[in-house]
Amino acid sequence: MMDSETSIKELKDKIKKFCEARDWDQYHNVKDLSIGIATESAELLELFRFKSERDVEAMLKEPKRRNLIEGEIADVFYFLLRLAQKYNIDLAESVERKLKNNEEKYPIEKIKGSNKKYTEL
């Protein structure tokens, strides 16, 4: 299964089936799924703590470490997909709406090449 061959809906359906087979709906409320996203994100971040860009590049080339990184990314994505699946959030629509808002918030002519916050524009 590859990104180019898999839809978000397919992933949501797989996660739903997996969780329902284990009777995990009782544990998967918005608060606990959000905690899962934060916890797994912290575990991903921990892999890069005190690492230089060169260190990270080396980690990504080493199969064992790359596997750890991919696993943590998958955990974050899993909880995100599960949250969206449980609460009927259309991720594609949400991302499109967010991009549109950010296009207005961060106009290219004012922000390109800048690290200014939108409040400083």
Contact 68, 44 (CB under 8 A): no
pLDDT tens by residue, 10-52: 999 999 999 999 999 999 999 999 999 999 999 999 999 999 9
pLDDT band of 113, cuts 50, 70, 90: confident
Q: How confident is the model at residue 114 (pLDDT cuts 50, 70, 90)?
A: confident
> Is the CATH number of domain 8-89 1.10.1060.10?
no
Three-state SS annotation for the chain = CCHHHCCHHHHHHHHHHHHHHCCCHHHCCHHHHHHHHHHHHHHHHHHHCCCCHHHHHHHHHCHHHHHHHHHHHHHHHHHHHHHHHHCCCCHHHHHHHHHHHHHHHCCHHHHCCCCCCHHHC
Taking residues 51-79, report their average pLDDT.
98
Q: What is the average per-residue pLDDT within 100-104?
A: 93
Give the residue extent of every domain in the chain. 8-89
Give the pLDDT of residue 44: 98
